[in-house]
Amino acid sequence: MSNDVKTENFRSIGKPVPRKEDHRFLTGNGRYLDDIEIPGALHACFLRTPFAHARILSIDTEGAQKAPGVVAVVTGRDLAEWTTPLRLAPPIEGLHPTGMTTLPIEKILFNGDPVACVVATDRYLAEDAAEMVFVDYEPLEPVASIESALAEGAPLIDESLPSNLVSHQIFSAGDPKGAIARADRTVECFFSQGRQTHVPIETRGCAAVWDEGRQHLTFHIGTQVPHPLRTQLAGRLKLSESQVTVVSPDVGGGFGQKIALYREELTVAALARHLKRPVRWREDRMENLLAASHAREDVVRTRAAVTNDGRVLGLEMEITEDFGAYCFYPANYIARVVAMILTGPYCIQDYAFDVKAVLTNKCGNGPMRAPMSITSWVMEGTMDAIARELNLDPIEVRRINMLKSEDYPYRMATGEVLEDITPRETMETVLEAIGYEDFRRRQAEDWAHSVYRGLGLCVVVEPTTYGSAFYKSAGIPGSGHESAWVRIEPSGAVNASVGLMGTGQGYETPLSQAVAEGLGVDPAQVTLHLGNTDIAPYGMGSRGARGGTAGGSTLYLAARDAQTKVLAIAANMLNLNTPGELRLVDGRVERQTGGKWDDVDLTLTDVARQAYLDPTNLPEGMEPGLEFHKSFDPPPMTYSNASHLCEVTVDPETGRTMIERYIIAEDCGTVLNSIVVEGQQHGATALGISGTLYEEVYYDESGQNLTGSLADYLLPTACEIPNFEIIPMHTPNRRGPAGIKGMAEGGVMGAIGAVSNAINDALAPFGVVAETQPFTPQRIRDLVRGKNPSG
């Protein structure tokens, strides 16, 4: 895509337009899954196993079948007749194929695994009856950690595999071993990120309505990816895509949890078809915490070969992710991205990685907002460690190694190409904003008074909008394209759709702005239709920070096509030979004469009326109507960047971390709507802070999940999250239409690194390094207990 983006001329894109969807949400008129009224719908409830690992010997459903209100009780054997198993076998070297049935038949694999489904006339009765299903288990030895999964003779989670190491890949570029050999020092680091889960405030749920006469399934579900979900659902029900409509209502948060087709959802769909009655399910919070999808839990080691002045000659990285029991995604998918982009803004060509994913008796992992979130902490934590070991200033170590603006486009050791990013500029900006020298003075003064203040910097290079070419080169099946249509109705009303589905970001407003910009109307005139597969074009949906770059760009291009035809008709109506001197502004045609734009008293409505209702007067050969479809495959990867700077105090007596100040300078290209972008920056950064300090899914040694309520799985409240100071430093992306870059995940990456580095800076007088997240008060206390601070 060539670059002729003149972003300064944008009239709609970039404006802080308050969100269209707010009105229904503020008045209690949002329509979430459970708000949809479906007469006669039955309610499903899943019986979940209390064991971590066990063979199913028998399931006695007889008592439950007779319970009041019960219509059906089904198990994995029933579902196997109505559905096909999931088989995941992409041709990726080092990745073992995996599979699963719709509900377990032989074995349960984690605490919370569903073993039976009860369908009754109301939810209370379904839950009553679920307690009357009796399952006889033969408990097996649980595997509750990476170490036990990889231990000699460990019980196999998936008995068709040779070991629990489900995926293993290595890579080397340049000569990292040689770099270590010729280095002055080798600095080794360890990083461990806790197991987390997404916790959308609206849990999962779905409602399936089977039309026996038309042999058609309507499936209501809050999903980020309506079309890919429909393809999966139809396939596994042995239906064609023509027989399934997926409709996503308003969604109360997703964060990556609402992408996969889960087993409960497939069960509900199969039951509606089997019973020929509507069936609905709403997950409760305990189910959501135990059994929806987990994320993260990875351990990383780095070895950096450095010179005494802090230059990095080479880098080795090993990452192992605890992927849980079930693979809804290829197990290499997340950790491999960490490895591919690790070196970020630094000039490191001698680089090797080793990426492992292991199966354990835990809920399966999936992508969670910034799946690769650990990346920036690992790289920036390594930079800080180099500074610590060499007694250098951590900022100087970054300056020595960081790419300069003239180095871009820059091909990383892994082949990834960075361009149009500004890490140095954002870094210097946040340092200036805090007054770096002044901070070091304050810090030294406070140390003298036993106040432990620390500053953490994290320079983020955020991969966004994974294009088809990236998937192919990373060996991950999938496409990165997006599709959109724009239709101008006979009245001049503008409707548009795209394959994305929002989960709270507020797509309807910024995407309207993209359409408005491309066409030349007011954004208020554009209505977006999202989430219904009968209406939306086949696109890949929402994930990987692609809403703006893939969705916004595709809509913008479709709207540009629309404008071209509108102006061609307008030129014909004005008896001009060419539309070259016409433009559309706020739905009115303007003509340029002598460098000045004049209104010619012709509106979009006039043009639309002719296109639909008077087609014989259209220019010769032109088709009637104003409907436009566009597909767009973004570049392999679109990078954004930011620098996060966090100031903390850590109380060694209590282990409590207080965030005193938080500054972000971000470059995410052309911003569609500054209000929405800032909201995403806040939310992403808060989620990163939360994972660093509070959140952890905790399994004990027997594989029991001890975090089954929001009183156990801690989310921060308004008292724990600070105010963020944001400095926008956006520069356009020259490889995409309208200059858009992705965003909304980098905040997570930045927070994890900045908060961690700040805590370790604060703890420096104690000579300890916090490595295992979350950095709860207990963990900090364990580190400093018995240690005496030295100046």
Partner 1 sequence: MDGSGKISIALKVNGDSHEVMVAPRKLLSDVLREDLRLTGTHVGCEQGVCGACTVLVDGRPARSCLTFAVQMDGLNITTIEGFNREDGYSPLQQALHEEHGLQCGFCTPGIITTFEAYLVENPDPTEAEVREALSGNLCRCTGYQNIVKGILKAARVMRGGSSGEAVAQ
Tokens of 129: 């009856």
Q: By CB under 8 A, which span of 16-24, 51-59, 532-540, 644-652 interacts with partner 1?
A: 16-24
When the beta carbons of 575 and 717 are compared against partner 1, the nearer one is 717
**Binding letters toward partner 1, positions 163-182, x by CB under 8 A:** --------------------
Taking CB under 8 A as the binding criterion, the range among 58-66, 406-414, 473-481, 718-726 that sits at the site for partner 1 is: 718-726
Asked if residue 375 binds partner 1 (CB under 8 A), the reply is: no
Q: Look up tokens 């964060």; give the residue.
A: 255
Q: Are 279 and 264 in contact (CB under 8 A)?
A: no
250 binds partner 1 (CB under 8 A): yes
**CA–CA distance, 84 with 112 (Å, rounded to integer):** 22
| Interface region with partner 1, contact rule CB under 8 A, candidates 21-29, 148-156, 458-466, 776-784 | 21-29
442-465: string of b/e by CB count within 10 Å (b at 16+)? ebeeebeeeebbbbbbbbbbbbbb
* Segment 108 to 127, residues that bind partner 1, using CB under 8 A: 124
φ, ψ for residue 345, nearest 5 deg: -85, 10
Instruction: CB nearer to partner 1: give 167 or 513.
Output: 513
Query: CA-CA distance, 740 to 7, in Å (whole number)?
Result: 10
Cα–Cα distance between 566 and 529 in angstroms, integer? 22
- In whole angstroms, the minimum distance from the beta carbon of 550 to partner 1 comes to 20
d(CA 665, CA 433): 10
Q: Does 728 bind partner 1 (CB under 8 A)?
A: no
Decide: is 32 part of the binding site for partner 1 (CB under 8 A): yes
Q: Which is nearer to partner 1, 655 or 747 (by Cβ)?
A: 747
Residues 22, 507: Cα–Cα separation, whole Å: 11
Q: For 12-24, give the DSSP string.
A: STT--PPPSTHHH
Stretch that binds partner 1, among 145-153, 417-425, 498-506, 535-543 (CB under 8 A): 498-506
For residue 57, count other CB atoms closer than 10 A to its CB: 9
State the minimum distance, in angstroms, from the CB of residue 741 to partner 1. Answer: 20
> Which of 314/531 has CB closer to partner 1?
531
Q: Which residue from 237, 301, 227 is spatially nearest to 269, judged by alpha carbons? A: 237
User: CA 752, CA 374: separation in Å to the nearest integer?
Assistant: 7
Cβ partners under 8 Å of residue 255, min gap 6: 198, 199, 200, 368, 369, 503, 687
Q: Among positive and negative, which fits the CA dihedral 738, 593, 564, 18? A: positive
Of 456 and 579, which CB lies nearer to partner 1 in the complex structure? 456
> What are the b/e assignments for 300-337, b being 16+ CB within 10 Å?
bbbbbbbeeebebbbbbbbbbbbbbbbbbbbbbbbbbb
Preceding peptide of 409 cis, ω within 30°: yes
- Out of 3, 24, 84, 598, name the contact with partner 1 by CB under 8 A: 24
The reply to whether 21 sits near partner 1 by the rule CB under 8 A is yes
- Six-digit token string for 260: 């996969």
* Nearest to partner 1 of 32, 410 (CB atom): 32
601 binds partner 1 (CB under 8 A): no
Q: Are strands 294-306 and 312-322 parallel, antiparallel or unpaired?
A: antiparallel
Cβ atoms within 10 Å, residue 388 = 18
Interface region with partner 1, contact rule CB under 8 A, candidates 164-172, 197-205, 271-279, 290-298: 197-205
Say how far apart CA 753 and CA 689 lie, in whole Å.
Answer: 9
Looking at 213, 449, 620, 711, which residue binds partner 1 (CB under 8 A)? 711
Does 131 contact partner 1 by CB under 8 A?
Answer: no
Q: How far is the CB of 671 from partner 1 (least distance, A)?
A: 14
Segment interacting with partner 1 (CB under 8 A) among 184-192, 250-258, 324-332, 650-658: 250-258
Check binding of 30 to partner 1 (CB under 8 A). yes
Confirm or reject binding of residue 750 to partner 1 (CB under 8 A): no
Q: Which of 26, 106, 391, 596 binds partner 1 (CB under 8 A)?
A: 26
Residues 266, 276: Cα–Cα separation, whole Å: 15
* Residue type present at position 628: F
d(CA 735, CA 740): 9
* Cβ proximity to partner 1, 67 vs 412, nearer residue: 67
| Closer CB to partner 1, 25 or 410, in the complex | 25
Q: Which is nearer to partner 1, 23 or 411 (CB)?
A: 23
255 binds partner 1 (CB under 8 A): yes
Contact track, partner 1, 603-622, x by CB under 8 A: --------------------
Smallest gap from Cβ 784 to partner 1, in A, equals 28
Residue 460 zone, left/alpha/beta (φ > 0; ψ -120 to 50; rest):
beta
Q: Enter the tokens of residue 14.
A: 């970039």
For residue 504, state whether it binds partner 1 (rule: CB under 8 A).
yes
Q: At what angle do helices 604-613 and 553-573 cross, to 10 degrees?
A: 80
The least CB distance from residue 258 to partner 1, in Å, is: 11
Tell me how many degrees the CA angle 546-552-556 measures, rounded to the nearest 5.
150
Q: Which of 158, 202, 350, 666 binds partner 1 (CB under 8 A)?
A: 202
Contact map string, positions 667 to 686, toward partner 1, x by CB under 8 A: --------xx-xx--xx-xx
Among 14, 142, 253, 367, binds partner 1 (CB under 8 A): 253
- Tokens read off for 789: 């601070």
Question: Which residues 68-87 are close enough to bind partner 1 by CB under 8 A?
Answer: none
Q: Is 34 in the site for partner 1 (CB under 8 A)?
A: yes
Nearer to partner 1, 31 or 404 (CB): 31
Q: Where on the chain is the footprint of partner 1 (CB under 8 A)?
A: 18-19, 21-32, 34-35, 37, 124, 199-203, 250-253, 255, 284-286, 503-506, 675-676, 678-679, 682-683, 685-687, 709-711, 715, 717-719, 721, 723-724
